[in-house]
């Protein structure tokens, strides 16, 4: 489709670079966390929070808001950075990631972080949670939509497929899921750990409408989200074809950065790359 304002898309791309810079800095300062799967999820979360979703940082509990659940909770730095850039809390708070008594812990906690809908991190739970919210919306005759991001390795969990079955059974067309298909999980390649292909066929066979996109092309993601809004009587799964560690050359497709933060040298190299990308985008505006 791709008919969106070019300058607006470039601004979203610029936001994605800023989010990546936040992620690298947060994990470097925390000396722990998950860079790979945080970096691969950036464009989808930017498309949701800065374009697509109906939400209000000044009223995080608006009953009519759209909801986002980060089922792959270890990618919390991406969600936190997006929430901060949207104005849910001060950007300075990002510097205290994973510190004792800090608001922002290693996985999302809904009880004390504005804008976080569900406490996640125990893999497989987030999709079930999102199904519950979507079903509640139907029962309450609300028009909010529910979005959830799962990891590809996360779909090894049986609970994912129980949730997939129930979402299709109840015809939850107000539910859109996204799978961060970066082909890597903590133990190695997804296809070596427990084969997932064909992802499209699996979700289709469970009764879902399936769309496949370049998970780093914000314009494609927006079009897929708009298409999902039009789908009737079926939940939608958007397959995001992504690169783990995207945006930092030495982290890309590198399993070593699944759950290991950058050291000082890596931190400086990563920031230098991202600052160059930022300047290149700013020059086009």
pLDDT digits (tens, 9 = 90+) for 47-97: 999 999 999 999 999 999 999 999 999 999 999 999 999 999 999 999 999
Whether residue 26 is contained in a domain is answered as: yes
Judge contact between 213 and 240, C-beta under 8 A. Answer: yes
Nearest to 117 by CA among 71, 154, 158, 153: 71
Whether residue 1 is contained in a domain is answered as: no
Whether residue 204 is contained in a domain is answered as: yes
Nearest to 253 by CA among 192, 182, 171, 202: 182
Whether residue 21 is contained in a domain is answered as: yes
List the domain range (segments joined by +) for residue 30: 6-282
Beta bridge partners of 63: none
Which uninterrupted H or E stretch holds 166?
A: helix 158-169
Contacts of 79 (CB under 8 A, 6+ apart): 45, 68, 70, 108, 116
CA distance 279 to 285: 10
* pLDDT surpasses 70 at 1: no
* pLDDT surpasses 90 at 161: yes
195-238 pLDDT, tens digit per residue, is 998 999 999 999 999 999 999 999 999 999 999 999 999 999 99
243-253 pLDDT, tens digit per residue, is 999 999 999 99
Look up the CATH number of the domain holding residue 219.
3.40.50.970
* Mean pLDDT taken over the chain: 96
Report the domain count for the chain. 1
Q: What pLDDT is recorded for position 3?
A: 64
Whether residue 24 is contained in a domain is answered as: yes
Q: What confidence category does residue 4 fall into, taking pLDDT thresholds of 50, 70 and 90? A: confident
> What's the residue count for the chain?
285
Whether residue 55 is contained in a domain is answered as: yes
Whether residue 176 is contained in a domain is answered as: yes
Whether residue 79 is contained in a domain is answered as: yes
140-160 pLDDT, tens digit per residue, is 999 999 999 999 999 999 999
């Amino acid at each position: 489709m791709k008919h969106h304002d070019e300058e607006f898309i470039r601004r979203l791309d610029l936001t994605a670079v800023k989010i990546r810079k936040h992620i690298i800095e947060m994990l470097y300062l925390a000396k722990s966390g998950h860079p790979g799967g945080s970096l691969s999820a950036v464009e989808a979360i930017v498309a949701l929070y800065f374009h697509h979703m109906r939400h209000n940082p000044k009223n995080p509990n608006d009953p009519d808001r759209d909801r986002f659940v980060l089922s792959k909770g270890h990618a919390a730095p991406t969600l936190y950075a997006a929430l901060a850039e949207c104005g849910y809390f001060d950007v300075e708070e990002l510097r205290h990631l994973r510190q004792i008594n800090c608001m922002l812990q290693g996985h999302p906690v809904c009880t004390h972080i504005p804008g976080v809908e569900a406490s996640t991190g125990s893999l497989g739970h987030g999709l079930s949670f999102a199904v519950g919210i979507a079903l509640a919306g139907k029962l309450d005759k609300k028009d909010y939509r529910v979005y959830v991001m799962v990891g590809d390795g996360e779909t090894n969990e049986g609970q994912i497929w129980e949730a997939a079955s129930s979402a299709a059974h109840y015809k939850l067309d107000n539910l859109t899921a996204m799978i961060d298909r970066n082909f890597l999980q903590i133990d190695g390649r997804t296809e070596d750990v427990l084969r997932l292909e064909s992802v499209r066929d699996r979700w289709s066979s469970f009764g879902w409408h399936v769309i496949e996109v370049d998970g780093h092309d914000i314009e494609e993601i927006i079009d897929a989200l708009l298409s999902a809004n039009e789908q009737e009587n079926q939940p939608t799964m958007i397959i995001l074809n992504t690169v783990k560690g995207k945006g930092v050359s030495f982290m890309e497709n590198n399993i070593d950065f699944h759950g290991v933060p950058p050291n000082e040298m890596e931190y400086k190299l990563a920031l230098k790359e991202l600052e160059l990308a930022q300047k290149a985008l700013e020059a086009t505006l």
